[in-house]
Structure 1
Amino acid sequence: MKLSISTLGEFDIKSDGQSILKQSSRTYRLNKLFEYFITFRNKKLLPEMIIDNLLSESESDDPKNMLRTQIFRLRKIIKAFLPEGADESEYLMINFVNGYYCLEIGEKTEIDVDEFEALIHRGDMDMEHDPESAARLYQGAIKLYKGLYLSDNAYEVWLVPTRNYYQRLYLKTLRKLIELLKEKNENETVVALCEEALLVDPYEESIHINLMEAMLHQGQQKNALNHYEYSMKLLMRELDIKPSAMFTEMLNKIQNHVSKDNPADFNSINSELEDENLLGAMQCNIDSFKFLLNLQKRKSFRNDENDYLCIMNINDSNSRKSKELSEILRYSLRKGDVFTYWNQSQILMILHDVKDGGIDVVRDRIYSKIRNSSLIKERDVSFSFKPLMQEEPAVQH
């Protein structure tokens, strides 16, 4: 009989594939003590250190005696895991020698983190001369990672360094495996790998980026765009921070992605480049807006067109209203107009060839749709207009 201890994800101990930990009766403190010994296995631990980490909030007048009692009870639980008459030193044994406690792991006990690190080390050794073997070893390690180290014990400070170490090692190994798969153009495998990884770590940007890139290589532009929109909302909602420039740059890659494997013809060009919805004004990101703004300025040098740049200021900057507000602008402006979000409280617009009184018409139409929608109050919205080719006034000193 062998014991298998799982720590990557939920803590469990199995024998012959069956959990024996869940069948046992343990208090929260005993469970925490057990996890502490597993984390610092084969290391000498002073009683004072254990008390500081696990019993500092206890109201006991004699914390050392309390620790001794808990360790006595934990030893009985460990013994109950083992076959009758088994040598404890072959499995798990808590010793007390020269003032130190130590959980010693015997040859009949396996811990997933030890196998996890061993597979990665072997993969690193094979990387140069046998990348296929390295990929198999990395895949084996990644399958062992079911979540954060001792994920069911979320709030212990002493766990943070160990938990962060294994998470970093997992992500580093995942990146190495993805690079090996990319070299062989195994994009379908990369997609499946990233989708599984996101079940474990849904907030890691690099996994989302690799997933979208692999989708693009498979020609799945719509799937990549859908995933970008989903992951952007997820990261901003859960982490409350703006994603990195590398992440946001994926939108440009997705929007500008065109497969060049087949010769160009008008049908393929229309299929790849034309928007599905040509109704109303066009919404774009800030980089595309910059490009269109400069293009329109260049055209205005030759054509007699009255183009305007407009700033729409919104006092109520609730980001959850942006989708509804975009719909209002899309159908208040004309097909030749363009708009983008400068920030949560300002929207930029290019109004193409505005005739006499056209500015008032645009403003009134937007105000009318805002009133009808009850989305935001009319008094919370204001506009600034400037002819696209107007020279800026000189600064007076």
Structure 2
Amino acid sequence: MGKHNPKNNDKHAETRQKVVKLLIEFGYFENATEFYDRLSSFEDIESLILKQAPVMMDRGQFVLLQNLINTLPGEHHSPWILYWSATAFLPIDPHSARQGYEAALAGFEKTQDSSGIFISWAGIVDSFIFAWDDFRPLDQWIKWMQDFLQKNPVFPSAEIEARVVFAMFCSLMYRQPQHAELPVWAQRLERMLPYFPDKNRRLAMATHYALYLAWVGEFESFTALIERLKPSATIDSMQPVNLIAWFQTEAMHYWLNANFEDSRKAVQTGLRLADETGVHLWDFILRVQDAYLALESSNPDQWQNYLQKVRDIMDENGRLHQAHYYYLAALEALLQKNPQRALVHIKKSLQATIELGTPYHEALNCIARGRIHIELAEYKKAETWLSKASALAEPINSRFLSFNLFLSQAEHGYAREDNKAGVVALVQAMAIGRQKNYFNTDWWRSQTMCGLCIKALENNIEVDYVQQLIKTRQLNPDSPPFHLDNWPWSVRIYTLGRFSVLLDGASVRVNGKSKNKPIELLKALIAMGGRDVSETRICEALWPDAEGDNAHSSFTSTLSRLRQLLGSNLLLVHNAQLSLNDHLCWLDIWAYERSLGELESALSNRETQQLIIIEQKIQRVFDLYHGFFMEKEAQPGWMLPQRERLQTKLLRMIKQLISFYSSRGRCKKVIALYEKAQELDPLSEEYYRGLMRCHAALGNAGEALAIYKSCQSILNVTFGIKPSDKTRQLFKLIKIGDKQQLKRACELCVQATG
């Protein structure tokens, strides 16, 4: 076996020739002769390989290193040769690399080489990460290292310590995220990262640590890590395999923080670098991120296109990637409003995560499955899966998992009309969201989040955070929530009893010569309904003497000035019709008419005829109706129909309410309603008669007679006429105290208003 063993001469010569030839093929021309002279034995060849192995790995010359090692006879495969052979296999065949690391570890144990033992064990862990497949065997290796560290707590060097810390961190993160010591190992890794000498390995470590921060929901720490390492992540200083992974990490960071433009840029940079360098190890994850970004759009064709790109390369990767594809496909199916197809996909994803032994992903899948059962109105099944998710998530102690889980539980509660359960879960979800500044989830569905945000604002839950969430994600419910004063409307316009405009909460000056015509245009648009008002109709109102192109030119220029004042997105033109954007603008008359409709529905539906609910809705109507439409503004002809229409609707509703309360003997409520009607229409004798009857019924004949006198006076002053026969007859009945006839008159009144 020594240098001068004659039996090895021929084999050695042949090996030396192969080594030098390989070196020349891979560009080591200048050193070829020097290498040849030095390789006088197998030990020399082994020494050369061990010396050059780190350099070759740094350059990505995995194949060269493996070929050089293959030139050595088996008896010269020392533990260190086995280690570097496994390392060369790692990016290409992780399962073979694992076998090599295990063989190297066994050899190092025999020689009691602690350095070799530590880094071979770290290599075994690396093989699981590169394979991205079954993580369950990691359990035995976690215990193995825990036992070894109890006997060997001192590391040979700081670099080896960092390798082991990183490997133990990854083992626990992927396989045992519920382990009590995971945060401890994470903290050790964080402290070591800035000082790790190998910049490529440092970036690789940071990539996994960043993923951990995302999983546990520490987004601010994630951001700090990105900002600290981003300047060093350049093609000039990093291996492509690590740099591409880093771009994926950046893309995930921006996406989680709802910065979709920068996320898309990072994905494109990573994919472009992969094409330029031929390093496609991270293509699948980049494509997945690209698909998540596509799902933010409202284009189903785009969803399917990007999802297909993921599907096309799915089989080339580990089973965890396949699980990720089905998880993503389930979300796409749910967005397509096909929960049955979503269920098929999530079952595949969930089964894979169970078989692969990744509890964090299993918890996410349980939450997703619960959401799908909610969409299917299978609430018992939804509860079962959300309970399973809770059992998995609680020991993991991830705020991000908890945020997703509580949102799903709130959705579940409201879906089965258990408002109390919905509120309890929503309080917990939004509190976490506020504390951690969450503005995205991996299963984001805009309309679902709109509904939950509306519920949060209705119950005054974390109002500031919810408003910021709505603005950041530009949430637009299918039906604008005009009933919510605390919805973050860009523009608020008040027209009942006054005219004022608020832009992002600040009052807009509506007076001044330069603003007169744009504001008049706004008033005309509102007076004509605020939606789908034809340009022709507006021009006839504001520029009655202009014709054809002149009228259109005036309209266009005035509209442009109004947009400059209030924002370009507030006013929409479609098919020569102008509308206020009701997703951005709160208009009091829209809120008023919506509230009137809700009150009318409550009155007509016996199941909702609870006095407290009805009285809340009545108060909402009167809170909105501060006075007549544009009461203090000039009243051109085109403004009067809207004023009369809104007033008439309120008077009609008051009559319904009078009938409702009269039938229940609530005289004081009826009196208040008659007085409100009298304010709106002080010349209508109907309301005077109603007040007279109510006061008489309560035994206040004097008050009833005084009301008649008031009616008599106002009619005489205004029109020079007397009250009608009906009113005078009622006056006589009250005056003489004819209770029987008065009662009959009251009954007829109730029937008439009903």
When normalised by structure 1's length, the TM-score is: 0.54
Summarize deviations over 1:212-271 as a string: whole Å, max 9, x none. 2221122211111112111221133224555443333331232133569xxxxxxxxxxx
1:64 partnered with 2:548: no
1:156 partnered with 2:645: no
Kept in 2, the 8 Å contact 1:138–1:174? The answer is: no
- In the other structure, the counterpart of 1:43 is 532
1:30 partnered with 2:547: no
Kept in 1, the 8 Å contact 2:493–2:499? The answer is: yes
CA distance in structure 1 between the aligned counterparts of 2:492 and 2:712, rounded to whole angstroms? 39
1:175 partnered with 2:655: yes
Query: What one-letter code is carried by the residue in structure 2 that aligns with 1:137?
Result: K
1:76 partnered with 2:564: yes
Other structure's SS at 1:9 match = coil
1:93 partnered with 2:571: yes
Kept in 2, the 8 Å contact 1:142–1:174? The answer is: no
CA distance in structure 2 between the aligned counterparts of 1:45 and 1:136, rounded to whole angstroms? 37
Other structure's SS at 1:110 match = strand
- Change over 3 Å in CA distance of 1:103–1:192 after alignment to 2: same
Offset, 1:71: 2.1
- In the other structure, the counterpart of 1:271 is none
More strand by share: 1
- In the other structure, the counterpart of 2:442 is none
1:225 partnered with 2:705: yes
- In the other structure, the counterpart of 2:714 is 234
1:121 partnered with 2:609: no
Query: What one-letter code is carried by the residue in structure 1 that aligns with 2:531?
Result: N
Summarize deviations over 1:347-389 as a string: whole Å, max 9, x none. xxxxxxxxxxxxxxxxxxxxxxxxxxxxxxxxxxxxxxxxxxx
1:144 partnered with 2:640: no
Larger Rg: 2
Query: What one-letter code is carried by the residue in structure 1 that aligns with 2:589?
Result: V
- In the other structure, the counterpart of 2:141 is none
Offset, 1:171: 0.6
CA distance in structure 2 between the aligned counterparts of 1:207 and 1:37, rounded to whole angstroms? 33
CA distance in structure 1 between the aligned counterparts of 2:560 and 2:720, rounded to whole angstroms? 46
1:106 partnered with 2:106: no
Kept in 2, the 8 Å contact 1:51–1:63? The answer is: yes
CA distance in structure 2 between the aligned counterparts of 1:12 and 1:101, rounded to whole angstroms? 24
Offset, 1:120: 2.4
Other structure's SS at 1:76 match = helix
CA distance in structure 1 between the aligned counterparts of 2:533 and 2:737, rounded to whole angstroms? 57
Q: Which moved more, 1:64-73 or 1:216-225?
A: 64-73
Query: What one-letter code is carried by the residue in structure 1 that aligns with 2:638?
Result: W
- Change over 3 Å in CA distance of 1:201–1:4 after alignment to 2: farther
Offset, 1:137: 2.4
Q: Which moved more, 1:212-221 or 1:7-16?
A: 7-16
CA distance in structure 2 between the aligned counterparts of 1:193 and 1:119, rounded to whole angstroms? 17
Offset, 1:28: 4.3
Offset, 1:112: 2.0
Summarize deviations over 1:267-295 as a string: whole Å, max 9, x none. xxxxxxxxxxxxxxxxxxxxxxxxxxxxx
Q: How many residues align?
A: 246
Query: What one-letter code is carried by the residue in structure 1 that aligns with 2:601?
Result: M
Other structure's SS at 1:107 match = coil
Offset, 1:19: 6.8
Summarize deviations over 1:116-165 as a string: whole Å, max 9, x none. 22222222222241332445424432342233322234532223332222
Identical-pair percentage: 21
- Change over 3 Å in CA distance of 1:251–1:108 after alignment to 2: same
Offset, 1:173: 0.3
Offset, 1:43: 0.3
CA distance in structure 1 between the aligned counterparts of 2:509 and 2:730, rounded to whole angstroms? 44
More helix by share: 2
Query: What one-letter code is carried by the residue in structure 2 that aligns with 1:115?
Result: A
Summarize deviations over 1:60-107 as a string: whole Å, max 9, x none. 99443333332222222213xxxxxxxx53xx2243x45x14123232
CA distance in structure 1 between the aligned counterparts of 2:723 and 2:508, rounded to whole angstroms? 40
- In the other structure, the counterpart of 1:301 is none
Query: What one-letter code is carried by the residue in structure 2 that aligns with 1:199?
Result: E
Offset, 1:182: 1.6
Kept in 1, the 8 Å contact 2:670–2:694? The answer is: yes
Question: What runs of 5+ residues in structure 1 fail to find an aligned partner?
Answer: 80-87, 261-397
Kept in 2, the 8 Å contact 1:138–1:173? The answer is: no
- Change over 3 Å in CA distance of 1:23–1:160 after alignment to 2: closer
Query: What one-letter code is carried by the residue in structure 2 that aligns with 1:238?
Result: T
Offset, 1:58: 6.9
- 1:1-20 counterparts in 2 under 5 A? 1-2=488-489, 3-14=491-502, 20=507
CA distance in structure 1 between the aligned counterparts of 2:516 and 2:715, rounded to whole angstroms? 33
CA distance in structure 2 between the aligned counterparts of 1:55 and 1:201, rounded to whole angstroms? 33
Other structure's SS at 1:5 match = strand
Query: What one-letter code is carried by the residue in structure 2 that aligns with 1:41?
Result: G
Kept in 1, the 8 Å contact 2:651–2:677? The answer is: no
Kept in 2, the 8 Å contact 1:12–1:19? The answer is: no
- Change over 3 Å in CA distance of 1:241–1:164 after alignment to 2: farther
- In the other structure, the counterpart of 2:696 is 216
CA distance in structure 2 between the aligned counterparts of 1:256 and 1:134, rounded to whole angstroms? 38
Other structure's SS at 1:176 match = helix
Other structure's SS at 2:534 match = coil
When normalised by structure 2's length, the TM-score is: 0.30
Q: 2:675 aligns with which of 192, 195, 204?
A: 195
Q: Which moved more, 1:236-245 or 1:125-134?
A: 236-245
Other structure's SS at 2:501 match = strand
CA distance in structure 2 between the aligned counterparts of 1:242 and 1:154, rounded to whole angstroms? 32
Query: What one-letter code is carried by the residue in structure 2 that aligns with 1:102?
Result: L
CA distance in structure 2 between the aligned counterparts of 1:116 and 1:165, rounded to whole angstroms? 12
- Change over 3 Å in CA distance of 1:50–1:205 after alignment to 2: same
CA distance in structure 2 between the aligned counterparts of 1:68 and 1:211, rounded to whole angstroms? 52
- RCO comparison, higher one (Cα < 8 Å, 6+): 1
Query: What one-letter code is carried by the residue in structure 2 that aligns with 1:190?
Result: V
Kept in 1, the 8 Å contact 2:708–2:731? The answer is: yes
CA distance in structure 2 between the aligned counterparts of 1:19 and 1:186, rounded to whole angstroms? 42
Other structure's SS at 2:669 match = helix
Offset, 1:31: 3.0
Query: What one-letter code is carried by the residue in structure 2 that aligns with 1:192?
Result: A
